[in-house]
Structure 1
Amino acid sequence: MCADTTATPDYRPTVFLPETEFPMRAGLPQREPDWLARWERIGIYDRLREKGRVEGRTPFVLHDGPPYANGHLHIGHALNKVLKDFIVRSQQMLGKDARYVPGWDCHGLPIEWKIEEQYRAKGLNKDDVDVVAFRQECRKFAEGWIDIQREEFKRLGVTGNWADPYLTMDYHAEAVIADEFMTFLMNGSLYQGSKPVMWSPVEKTALAEAEVEYHDHTSHQVWVKFRIHTAADATFTRTPTDVVIWTTTPWTIPQNRAICFGPDISYGLYEIIGRPEDSPATIGHRVILADKLAEAAFTQAKLAGPDFTRRLCDVSAADLAALVCAHPFRAIEGGNGEWDYDVPLLPGDHVTDDAGTGFVHTAPSHGDDDYQIGLKFGLPMTYNVEPDGSYRTNLPLFGGQHIILPDGKEGPANVSVIKALAGTATLFAKAKLRHSYPHSWRSKAPVIYRNTPQWFVSIDRTLDDGKGQYGDTIRARALTSIDKLVDWTPQTGRNRLFSMIEARPDWVLSRQRAWGVPLTCFVKKGAQPTDPDFLLKNAEVNARIKAAFEADGADVWYVAGFKEKVLAGIVDPAAYEQVFDVLDVWFDSGSTHAFVLRDRADGTEDGIADLYLEGTDQHRGWFHSSMLQACGTKGRAPYRGVLTHGFTLDEKGMKMSKSLGNTVAPEQVIGEYGADILRLWVAQSDYTIDLRIGKEILKGVADSYRRLRNTMRFMLGNLAGFTDAERVDPKDMPELERWVLHRLAELDAEVRSGYAAYDFQNLFQKLFAFCTTDLSAIYFDIRKDAFYCDAPSSLRRRSARTVLDLIFHRLTTWLAPILVFTAEDVWLSRFGDEGESVHLQDMPETPAAWLNYALAVKWDRIRAVRRVVTGALEVQRTAKVIGASLEAAPVVHVDADTAAMLSDTDFAELCITSGITVTTDAAPADAFTLPEVAGVAVVFRAAEGAKCERCWQILPDVGTHAHPATCARCDAAL
């Protein structure tokens, strides 16, 4: 049989199909570590710093809020560090010298607690161990976790000076922290006071407000009668009369020293005229209550209603001020006279008639309002509660009993006090109350207010330090900074911190622990805290302390003979006592501006950061302590901007908990999807509120990632072999390319403003829409034919590849701060090792001349008409009339203006059909329309002619050219 010499040639080798080794499957979990190793090998971070130096770039410093060196990272850590990395990388690529020094908080109770646990497990007592040896154990523990966390942070793709981070336990850091503390010593804001502070009986230390969190707790509540024994008006003493108080802390009753009333509250005198059989009330006795709260109080005492009580008369503020009561335990058996003192009634602005009785039992040693009243009226302080939360052993009746047990559970003290009140017939009523109560955020155990000598920084004392540009007190400087010097993202952060600092008390600096920077000060033996020479203030002593810490760390404070060494030749060491409390760790982290921003070569000239970025809890934490600390030593806030993010929740909006099994660990996400997917989740989320994460959410993120990757792969495939020789000047390009350039120019402005405003969610949405709609669904879809089938020399193909190159450079750099690994993969897939890294690039400048709003309006209309055509063809495809759009040559009915607009375009090319007819004739009734696109109707017609075996268009001229079964365009290309 003879060979068929008329067979159509195989034109597939003549088609310019995409060429790329960029894989569709990313394999991120396996491949990302190789990029990390490569970045470390070529020293990207150091090269960027050198680039910034050589080019004289403006520095941008995001100062890292130090995570605590204790435990593996959780998803909140990942959110925080990834957001920081978005900002650092984007600022660098926008032309800044974006420095990022990661750091760690190393001192403090959690680490100390862990070492104590290890000692207890071995049957050892921490107090029997040399303090320096104990501190060294803490240091080693922190070092171990720093190494672990550093690798976990790096695995997220976070760039920074990982080789030289800052640590609060570095010798220089400890020296600076001590020096900053001594600034407060010298400027007069430091004082020792005996006042109630939040105290953790479990941890046996004072807590700052930032170390306290609130949880639901069931408390005892009691209504207690205080018998009036002195009054200006005999009405209140002729018949037994009681002032009734209400409290949810019965254990504070033994410390009562006064009762407060509200001067503007309406009070009444009530008589008990009857009682139920089971009531201990005495008929004829009288009580004073706030009128608004009387019914509720009588209900608790089972005395509600006209059969049991009646109101006799008003009780004025003047009447109340003249009353003196007896303590409920006055003359109690076994009391040894402990409570045989008078209890005055005092006016207090803090008293309300919202709950209780309108009277506030006042124990100056156990509440801030109570303490302030005590200061105002000279009430004595009590010292009945020990550091472990127990009453002093020699307190009558209750000695040694715990309020809070060492395991955090309630001790017997409350019940014992209530029983004693019942025994003295002063218990008016009792109940239980479920309410929000302060707990230690470390031990999770309830805390108490306890009077104890502590070291404070006054935030309202006038500072004569020459730094009063923004106010003369720490509070004034802080409030001015918040209002005038700091940009807030979101703005609500300003209001939150302002209200906190506006109302906060003095700062408690001291902690009764071992692992931390000591309060480097000396007090004169025998002197009182109020004496002017109580604190040793000597610049030479301070310099010696700082130098010793710089050389050997803060441990030297605990070495025998240190006091004598630093005081020798200046003052008599025997005349002074050394303070061994340690600083609140918030003072450590609040001081980082000094030893990181001010002292490091990669810090800032003025010691002020461009941005602090942490979670919303840091309004009461690091933002707060940094503000107070810097306002005391620098005179202003240490930051120009503050960004806060929300917390991470599970998919149902529940708080993550190991017990609920709903936690999502970063390593789990990275192991399954890769770090870029975790980073993309951050970019797609609104970080200003709480963020949800879980399996279904991550599946959606991964789908978005695949669509982006498709876009990048298409570009790479169709840029194979592109050189500058092909490049076309924009003015010579077809309109479609010029429209894409217009979109690039629009996006460039939006990307830059989005990164500048830290608006990653909106920025990414615009980039994603551009990739999936403008590019994949329109431009790439239309230009595939030109890429594959046009001759290499054709203007259309050269223009399209030029535009692809321009898109490539912008899209990879725009996405690089977010998808650090994928952008690198894309970059190296095109340029290989010669490309070094996308992260060494800047976002390219985009000519404003590319903007063409008139063209954009025109193409908006063209795209709308195209959408109607596409919809009409989809109907035919669904009905299996056609398989591909190239089998169609529809008739498009439009108005005259639209027809004129379409006349200078190859509309069939734009609609990916083999032919198209545009007419202004009236459309038939059955024509396809879309309600949202007015004035356009489409009638389907099949394309006429034969199928070109090279480009697959169906055209009348196929088969009439030199190359068999080709159209004119393909024949020419061949």
Structure 2
Amino acid sequence: MTTDSQDSSPDSGPRDYRDTLFLPKTDFPMRAGLPKAEPKWIEFWDEQKLYHTLREQSEGRESYTLHDGPPYANGHIHMGTALNKILKDLINRSHQMLGLNANYVPGWDCHGLPIEWKVEEEFRAKGRGKDDVPASEFRARCREYAKGWVDIQSEEFQRLGVVGDWDNPYLTMRFESEAVICAELLKIANSGQLYRGSKPIMWSPVEQTALAEAEVEYADRRVTQIYVRFPVNYRRGKSVNVDDFDKVVSSNSNLRDDQKEQLSALQDFTETGKGMLETGGQSFATDNISIVIWTTTPWTIPANRAVSYSPSIQYGLYEITELEEVEFDLGQSIGDKLIVADDLWESVAKASFIKDSKRVTDINTNDLSDFVLDHPLRHMPGADGKYDFPIPMLEGDHVTAEAGTGFVHTAPSHGEDDFNVWMSNGDKLASLGIDPAVPLTMDDKGCYTDVMPERFEGLDVIRTSGKKRGQDGKANPEVIKALVETGNLLARAPMTLRDAHSWRSKAPVIRRATPQWFISMSKDSLRDKALAEIERTKFWPERGRNRIGTMVKDRPDWLISRQRNWGVPITLIVGPNGELHTERADADAVNAKIIEAVFHHGVDGWFNTPIEELMPENNAGWEKVSDILDVWFDSGCTHAFCLKQRDDLPDRADLYMEGSDQHRGWFQSSLMESCAVYGEAPYKGILTHGFVVDAKGLKMSKSLGNVMAPEDLIKKFGADIIRLWVSSSDVTEEIRISDEVIKTNTDSYRKLRNTLRYMIGALDGYDESEAVDYADMPALERWVLHRLHELGSDHEELVRNHDHRVIFSRLFNFCTNDLSAFYFDIRKDALYCDPLDSTRRRACRTVMNALFERLTTWLAPVLCFTMEEVWQARRPGSSVHLETFRDCPDAWQDNALAKHIETVRATREQINETIEPMRAEKVIKSSLEASVVAPTSGLAEALDALSVIIADDYANPSDPTDTLADYLIVSNAVLGEVITVSDLKETDAKKCLRSWKYFHGEGEITPRDAVAVSRLD
């Protein structure tokens, strides 16, 4: 076909057709320049009042509430907090665009020891010790310090693109929040679930405060392990030393007459006056028989009150027959008899330099229960008679034969298991004349009290200051020295173990019995309520259910008191006999005054208000509690002072989402507090993410030099790259980040941006009037819509299940593989060269418009800045984040068509594999120079179903329909038995000066191109 446009005079030469092509046109830049561009979009959102506009737009919609777990108001954000906040923003934006009302209220945890420490340092730098600063001034500075970091972190989170109520976040230190926290505590006290008790708790000598399990981390520590002998004194009911028996009877005024008679009947003395031990059907003198224990805390030996055993362990009596030759004195001699678990005897003998021994007899555990031992420090110099009490044998479920000796040295003031087994044996202790009260053997600094002999009094377990802070103090060496002096130290050796440390000071913590405030896990069935709520809760991933469930099942009563300054006070008034004001008839009135004082003046309202104002009547002998609350109780109440107090939020959250460590932290404290007061969990679902690590899987650490700061990445790459990293990661596991990971995400971003930029350019000037109905579209366009339907069919389900990695992976692969590498590649010719009004060109732009609306909104939660830029390129003035996800009509689904397209794609890949070597050898430069024979098998049926013709040219150049050559991006294609590629340059075919296709016929350009040019001219 020849037209006037193809005429050219010999003098003028060929026409330049570049200005006749319909090339993509856009101002959308190829280079993102995110570090400079993103702040402008934040300004745009501020101008648009995006958060408030979303709330107005969402009025009346179903709510979706992700309740923010409060970060700590201290220090700049790091990659872990960046990941956390971005993931929350992904969830909120996605649910908002589902058509829900996803109102996000950020919050901060503002009380606690780290802030208190920083403020103490400030005052010390000015020459003022903590005791020199009035408490109210100190707390005011803590409040000011926390507020400063709230402002800084707020800006940092917003720079990441996180949308929320930043003008009105919740803060645990707001007066109204502190008042609600106090009110929640008083509700628990009113119900009788709160009590004061003395039991071993985690105690930090460095910080001089009690710690919750969630405030403890575990790290390697070098300790001294020791094996210690507890000499057997007598066996009850068989034989007893006269002097010891007299002490038992005379010192125990609490024994009933019948118990004293029972003890008297047990006297059975040998002629020598030494006790005899009958066990295993044999009798042995007690002066060389000992129970052996093993411990890694020598400093607890002075606090020993019993030895525990297990009836499920087989014990034996071993006699030492030969010792190793060593250059120091041993605490054992040939002929000594030691009672040890059979399974552990070899390890005990090796550690104790015992070269040979003989097993004398079995030790029946029924016999063990009657053994009474001497304290190993009883006869040490300077004992002051303070270890003359009997040491009973107590059965304990916590005793195993996995390590040690099969016996557990029991210090009820320093171990939870020790405390429990001690308290559960009250009757047995009474029968031995033992006071069951747990002695307070350590003071706040971790030093021995005057309960101990003067020799030990004041010795520290952990150094609390100086360069050696956190290292062993003087207690361990002195105790070991005393054990050597008594001959009861069998062995000692250094070892490394995982030990509890304060996550704040990084110093070791100890177990210490001290009066504290607890919430009972059994009172009012709190544990059972919590476990039932865990079963009702949905978990992502599901393994979180077992994790938190096991913790709740095994957790002790909740220790809620701390001995510090900066926190919400325990607003209880205690009477002269230990009774609480909540038990009084006027409790409601007193509570109301307390809450009112805190509401108007914050925590100072409690500390500064005289008791006479809070309790006007009958206040003689009553005292206010000076302890503050565990900060986990503060954060556990966020549902009460945020969700339940705000009119724009529901009482219960749809989701709590934090790191996996919060199963023992915020998830659990919130569950406990809410169940204690309201009988239900404050959440319907829990999502946990892993921790950020480097490329080798190592934790981020300044000392390792592997820290990557969000601020640095934003300055270099932009926040959208960090958001892309979050979206493309499996957040349920450890999340790796490194330069290589960032590079990978940057490359992915570039590919996505180019895809979207191409789409914007191709849609230049698009108007709905050129849209083509689905039924009139070519097969290739209907396939794209089918793929959109596939992506959209379970998109909502993936959003509701927070599977953003799958969402992003599918979208990325669709953009790069289905669109850029296939659909756009094929359709470039039609877009650039078809007549403007051709059906397939208009259909292509119709589909691209559908792609634009869906891809931009689907990707908006991920690349919130870039998708705003993309949206504004075509829809200026209105934010993409005010849009909702577009549906994908079921009419678009066509599985049969998709199957045929895949057949064509497979053939295309085969053809490309054949063409590529020719291109590499420079036989051809472009696939359009190729003439192809494609395999008939399977392809002919697909082409027929797709209405794709096999022809050298279009049947109708004015409205071309697809040919096989178009799909293969070659100039000529036919069907045959074997794939063949030939070079059209070697034939009489001509290269079209406009579309670069090779064709046979007259003129400079193909008939299709001639029609397009003619109409343009």
Could you tell me which runs of 5 or more consecutive residues in structure 2 were left unpaired when the two chains were aligned.
Answer: 1-7, 239-276, 427-435, 949-962
2:242 maps to none
- Distance across 2 between alignment mates of 1:670 and 1:797: 40
2:571 maps to 520
Shift in Å, 1:536 = 8.5
Question: What does residue range 507-546 of structure 1 map to in structure 2 within 5 Å?
Answer: 507-525=558-576, 527-528=577-578, 538-546=587-595
2:376 maps to 328
- Distance across 2 between alignment mates of 1:546 and 1:6: 95
- Distance across 2 between alignment mates of 1:664 and 1:61: 31
Relative to structure 1, is the Cα distance of residues 741 and 548 closer, same or farther in structure 2, using a 3 angstrom cutoff? same
Q: Decide which of 73, 85, 94 is 2:98's aligned counterpart.
A: 94
2:628 aligned with 1:582, yes or no? yes
- Distance across 1 between alignment mates of 2:583 and 2:73: 37
Contact 1:948 1:967 in 2 (8 A): no
1:435 partner letter: L
Question: What does residue range 596-607 of structure 1 map to in structure 2 within 5 Å?
Answer: 596-604=642-650, 607=651
- Distance across 2 between alignment mates of 1:743 and 1:402: 71
2:492 maps to 430
Report the TM-score, using the length of structure 2 for normalisation.
0.90
2:974 partner letter: T
1:932 maps to none
String of CA shifts for 1:124-183, please: whole Å, max 9, x gaps: 221232111111010000000000000000000001111110000011110110011011
- Distance across 2 between alignment mates of 1:327 and 1:491: 50
Contact 1:45 1:159 in 2 (8 A): yes
Relative to structure 1, is the Cα distance of residues 383 and 940 closer, same or farther in structure 2, using a 3 angstrom cutoff? same
Relative to structure 1, is the Cα distance of residues 705 and 537 closer, same or farther in structure 2, using a 3 angstrom cutoff? farther
2:531 aligned with 1:479, yes or no? yes
String of CA shifts for 1:848-907, please: whole Å, max 9, x gaps: 111111111111111111211222222221121111111112111322x42233243111
2:358 maps to 310
Q: Decide which of 898, 901, 914 is 2:942's aligned counterpart.
A: 901
2:25 partner letter: E
Q: Secondary structure of the equivalent of 1:475?
A: helix
Contact 1:611 1:639 in 2 (8 A): yes
2:912 aligned with 1:870, yes or no? yes
String of CA shifts for 1:493-541, please: whole Å, max 9, x gaps: 111000000000000000000110000111111x146x99988881221
2:110 maps to 106
Q: Decide which of 550, 554, 559 is 2:608's aligned counterpart.
A: 559
Contact 1:239 1:285 in 2 (8 A): no
String of CA shifts for 1:658-712, please: whole Å, max 9, x gaps: 0111000001111110000000011111100001101111011100000000000
String of CA shifts for 1:234-259, please: whole Å, max 9, x gaps: 43435521111111111011111111
Question: What does residue range 676-755 of structure 1 map to in structure 2 within 5 Å?
Answer: 676-755=720-799
1:575 partner letter: G
Could you tell me which runs of 5 or more consecutive residues in structure 1 were left unpaired when the two chains were aligned.
Answer: 464-472, 929-937
Question: What does residue range 234-313 of structure 1 map to in structure 2 within 5 Å?
Answer: 234=278, 235-278=283-326, 279-280=329-330, 281-305=332-356, 309-313=357-361
Q: Decide which of 13, 20, 26 is 1:7's aligned counterpart.
A: 13
- Distance across 1 between alignment mates of 2:568 and 2:452: 35
Q: Secondary structure of the equivalent of 1:213?
A: strand
Contact 2:186 2:582 in 1 (8 A): no
1:155 partner letter: R
Q: Decide which of 198, 223, 233 is 2:227's aligned counterpart.
A: 223
Shift in Å, 1:940 = 6.4
Q: Decide which of 189, 207, 224 is 1:203's aligned counterpart.
A: 207
Moved more, 947-956 or 79-88: 947-956
2:457 maps to 399
- Distance across 1 between alignment mates of 2:721 and 2:609: 55
- Distance across 2 between alignment mates of 1:891 and 1:355: 77
Shift in Å, 1:958 = 4.2
- Distance across 2 between alignment mates of 1:534 and 1:266: 51
Question: What does residue range 515-914 of structure 1 map to in structure 2 within 5 Å?
Answer: 515-525=566-576, 527-528=577-578, 538-561=587-610, 563-568=611-616, 571-604=617-650, 607-833=651-877, 836-895=878-937, 897-903=938-944, 904-905=947-948, 906-914=963-971
2:82 aligned with 1:24, yes or no? no
Contact 2:230 2:373 in 1 (8 A): yes
2:562 partner letter: R
Contact 2:135 2:565 in 1 (8 A): yes
Q: Secondary structure of the equivalent of 1:557?
A: helix
Contact 1:957 1:967 in 2 (8 A): no
Q: What is the Cα-based RMSD across aligned positions, in Å?
A: 1.9
Shift in Å, 1:828 = 0.7
- Distance across 1 between alignment mates of 2:988 and 2:72: 73
2:492 aligned with 1:444, yes or no? no
1:951 maps to 995
2:194 aligned with 1:194, yes or no? no
2:564 aligned with 1:491, yes or no? no
Report the TM-score, using the length of structure 1 for normalisation.
0.93
2:133 aligned with 1:123, yes or no? no
Relative to structure 1, is the Cα distance of residues 713 and 737 closer, same or farther in structure 2, using a 3 angstrom cutoff? same
- Distance across 1 between alignment mates of 2:44 and 2:734: 35
Relative to structure 1, is the Cα distance of residues 320 and 44 closer, same or farther in structure 2, using a 3 angstrom cutoff? same
Moved more, 944-953 or 908-917: 944-953
Q: Decide which of 409, 430, 446 is 1:389's aligned counterpart.
A: 446
- Distance across 1 between alignment mates of 2:459 and 2:33: 62
- Distance across 2 between alignment mates of 1:220 and 1:858: 74
1:40 maps to 46
Contact 2:439 2:451 in 1 (8 A): no
Q: Secondary structure of the equivalent of 1:100?
A: coil
String of CA shifts for 1:516-573, please: whole Å, max 9, x gaps: 0000111111x146x9998888122112211222222121111152x211111xx322
Shift in Å, 1:277 = 4.1
Q: Secondary structure of the equivalent of 1:917?
A: strand
Contact 2:233 2:287 in 1 (8 A): no
- Distance across 2 between alignment mates of 1:44 and 1:965: 49
Relative to structure 1, is the Cα distance of residues 971 and 533 closer, same or farther in structure 2, using a 3 angstrom cutoff? closer
Contact 2:992 2:1004 in 1 (8 A): no
- Distance across 2 between alignment mates of 1:275 and 1:237: 22
Contact 2:309 2:395 in 1 (8 A): yes
Contact 2:179 2:598 in 1 (8 A): yes
Moved more, 819-828 or 744-753: 744-753
2:133 aligned with 1:75, yes or no? no
Contact 1:221 1:250 in 2 (8 A): yes
Contact 2:232 2:287 in 1 (8 A): no
Relative to structure 1, is the Cα distance of residues 958 and 194 closer, same or farther in structure 2, using a 3 angstrom cutoff? farther
Q: Percent identity?
A: 49
String of CA shifts for 1:7-48, please: whole Å, max 9, x gaps: 222221111111100000000001100000110111011001
Relative to structure 1, is the Cα distance of residues 249 and 953 closer, same or farther in structure 2, using a 3 angstrom cutoff? same
How many residue pairs match? The answer is: 932
1:470 maps to none
Contact 2:689 2:733 in 1 (8 A): yes
1:506 maps to 557
- Distance across 2 between alignment mates of 1:944 and 1:460: 94
- Distance across 1 between alignment mates of 2:494 and 2:353: 15
- Distance across 2 between alignment mates of 1:43 and 1:973: 45
Contact 1:178 1:517 in 2 (8 A): yes
1:159 maps to 163
2:307 partner letter: I
- Distance across 2 between alignment mates of 1:458 and 1:848: 56
1:243 partner letter: I
Contact 2:900 2:943 in 1 (8 A): no
Q: Secondary structure of the equivalent of 1:98?
A: coil
1:931 maps to none
Contact 2:309 2:399 in 1 (8 A): yes
String of CA shifts for 1:417-473, please: whole Å, max 9, x gaps: 000000111111111121110000000000000010000000111x2xxxxxxxxx1
- Distance across 2 between alignment mates of 1:825 and 1:683: 19
Contact 1:103 1:165 in 2 (8 A): yes
- Distance across 2 between alignment mates of 1:185 and 1:944: 98
